[in-house]
Amino acid sequence: MNVSVIGAGSMGTAVSILLSGNGHNIKMWSVFKEEVEMINTLREQKDKLPGAIVPPNVVCTSNLEEALSFSDVLVMVIPSQTVRGNIKNISTLIKKPKTISCFSKGLEKGTGFRMSEVILQEMPDATVVAMSGPCHAEELSKGIPTAYVAASENKAAAELIQDIFMSPRFRVYTNPDTTGVELGGAVKNVIALCAGISDGLGYGDNTKAALMTRGIAEISRLGSAMGAKMQTFSGLAGIGDLIVTCTSMHSRNRRAGILIGQGRTVDQALEEVKMVVEGYFTTEPVYRLSKELGVNMPITNEAYEILFNGKDPASAVFDLMGRNKTHELEKEDLEDIW
């Protein structure tokens, strides 16, 4: 097939390499002309994914209309906070409805909307498939095996994307729970920032394991309040993505958290990482949603205080550990037992 990939950063390049290996022809788009020239001439994304060779059946362009006309399948691999602006531009150029496979993980700042909601608000005729799971561009580009989820209420669209991406190194599962898959992919970045802060403070494996476990509990509570399926959070887009993002040095969220835990200011940490730290942008809308929906999310609360109110990370840990005692299970799960 011909496939249009919107975004030529590290993940956009890795996805293009994967798809080209599956025999597809790829037209990548980047707004940055120097990025386009780099990929087309050097056959490498030297700035963001050095060492990964871009095959000849991948061509990059800065002409958005050219990229869109190449295929009826669009793969969105851009920062979450740029999705609305890019989709607005795309909607003025397309001639017929598209199937959009969205790799962007986050919630829109100011609205709290998931990426599929943002896309459909701007392009109601589109069919959106949300993509999520444990996957770093650095490993994907090398063909290191992993598994992912293609989520859509439209079964045929999910299976189409599954077929396009499926390979011996990239196993794809379908899931109708778009809400759960997108929330898992977005909120795990907040928890990963906190895991990095824990590492930066010098805490150990015990601390991080506890943080991750209670983090998935927060994600699940928010998901339940928003109508997601609880099974999704025990799957690839939930605990799977959370594990890899909290434990790997490929994770820019974890790396930013480490720097904050070591004493850098938030601005210094974001600057030093040099790439988009989605957890920073996602923390505020997740915090707002938790308050609006009445969902208890103490780790998210402390992340918000550190990132936006200048709270000392060590004090945040002290306050988390010193909260009133409670049960591990949710109240409704205890009623039939105690």
Just list the catalytic residues: 188
Cα separation of 189 and 232, whole Å?
17
Cα separation of 27 and 257, whole Å?
35
Amino acid 140 reads L
Residue 57 CB coordination number (10 Å)? 14
- Candidates 72, 103, 105, 106; CA nearest to 90 is 72
β-strand partners of 74: 4, 100
Which residue carries 């707002």 as its tokens?
Answer: 288
User: CB under 8 Å to 264, separation ≥6 — which residues?
Assistant: 272
Amino acid 285 reads P
Cα separation of 259 and 281, whole Å?
17
β-strand partners of 25: 2
For 74, phi then psi, to 5°, come to -110, 135
- Torsion angle of C-alpha atoms 114, 139, 233, 216, degrees rounded to 10: -90
- Candidates 105, 148, 157; CA nearest to 129 is 157
What is the DSSP secondary structure assignment for residue 72, as one 8-state letter?
A: S
> DSSP H helical segments within 8-99, as ranges?
10-21, 33-42, 64-69, 83-91
Helix or strand (DSSP H, E) at 99: strand 99-102
